Structure formats: structure tokens, C-alpha cells
Amino acid sequence: MPVVRRVAFLALAWVSFGLGVVGAFLPLLPTTCFMLLAAWAASKGSPRFAAWIHEHPRFGPAVVAWEGERAIPRHAKWLASAMLAVSMLVLALTVSLWWLKLSLIAGLCLVGAWILSRPEPVVIR
């Protein structure tokens, strides 16, 4: 692989990892999707960094569960559902256009249904 491409994947991996870490502390910024992106990009740019993400005690289990089983841990499902419910409440109270409000809430309901329909991991480290 050309060096420029490898460096670009590695940069994307580090930026995604950093955003994922920030997302662990800020409720509006997702963590898992950034960690999944970081693991994918790291696998292209630095297998050692990808292995480190997979072995990370905080972020690794969710990444491994998704990559291996397309599964979401129960606690993540509950947290995502709670955040979606809060978002729907905020939309219901703040958006004045009824069609936009209903469309956004319906979209969030579909996202929530999809998240809840994912299996839970068989083995959690």
C-alpha cells in the first residue's frame, strides 16, 4: 500500500478514536460508531493500532461484538434508547412545524427499533 494512503488511514483512525473518546464523556457525541470507524481505518493503516483498539478494556468489547456478531450490548441498547427518547422529547417541545416534528420523531423511532432488534453479544469480555 502506498505510504500516503497508509498515513491517510492512520490519520482517520486517530481522529475517529479521539472523537470516540470525547464521545464517551459528551452525551451528544456517539462513541461506538467512531470506534468502529477507527478500528476499520486502523486495520488499513496500522494493524498494531487496530489490535490495540480491539484489546482496549473500555472500547474493545463493543467493537469486537459488532465486528464478530453484529451485536450491541444490552447496556448500550438501553443508553441509546434513553438518549433517543430524550431527543424525541426535545423535538416534540421545540420544533414548531408539525410535519417536520413527526418526520424526525418517526425517524428516531425507526433508529431505536433497529438498535433494539440487534442481537446481544454471546460473549462479552
Collapsing DSSP to helix, strand or coil, 123 comes out as: coil
pLDDT at 49: 95
What are the helix (H) ranges across 1-125? Answer: 3-23, 32-45, 47-55, 60-69, 74-94, 98-117
pLDDT band, residue 123 (cuts 50/70/90): low
The C-alpha atoms of residue 11 and residue 20 are separated, in whole angstroms, by 14
pLDDT at 28: 72
pLDDT at 124: 52
pLDDT at residue 31 tops 90 = no
Q: In the numeric block, which cell numbers belong to residue 7?
A: 498515513
pLDDT at 105: 96
